[in-house]
Copies of this chain bind each other. A is one copy, B any other.
C-alpha cells in the first residue's frame, strides 16, 4: 500500500495514471539509454534480427567492448533479446531480438525519427539561446 498525497494539484505525477511510477521511471531510463537504442535498432535492421557479438561491435561506432557486453546482458535479463552460444573454435555467440524486443521497435523508431527530423531545429535553438544569453 502506497501513501497517498492529497496535496498534489497535478495527477501527471504518475505518468498518465500509472500505478508504479518507480518501475516506469526505471524502465524508461533503460530503454531510453543510448547504447540500448543503438543495439536494438542495429539488430532490427538485420533480416533475422540476429547477429554475433563481433558484428554488433563493428556495427555500433564508438561502443566499447565493456559497454556492449553490459548492455547485452541487461537486455537479455529484461527479456528483450536472447543469447545463444555455439562452442566452436573460434567461439561464436549470437544475439536475437525476442518478440518482446521486437514490440519495442515501433515506439523506439518513432523517437529516432523525431530526432532525425528535428535535430537541426534543436541546433538552431541552441545557437539562438547562446546568442541571447
Q: Which of A87-133 contact B (CB under 8 A)?
A: 100, 103-104, 106-116, 118-119, 121-126, 128-129
Tally chain A residues at the interface, Cβ within 8 Å: 68
Judge whether A41 is part of the interface by a CB distance below 8 angstroms. Answer: yes
Most buried by B among A7, A11, A59: A59
A33 to chain B, nearest CB (A): 7
- A64 — which chain B residues lie within 8 A by C-beta? none
Give CA–CA (A21, B34) in the complex, Å. 11
| A and B contact pairs by CB, cutoff 8 A, 9 listed | A10-B42, A13-B61, A16-B41, A16-B109, A18-B116, A27-B115, A79-B125, A108-B111, A110-B111
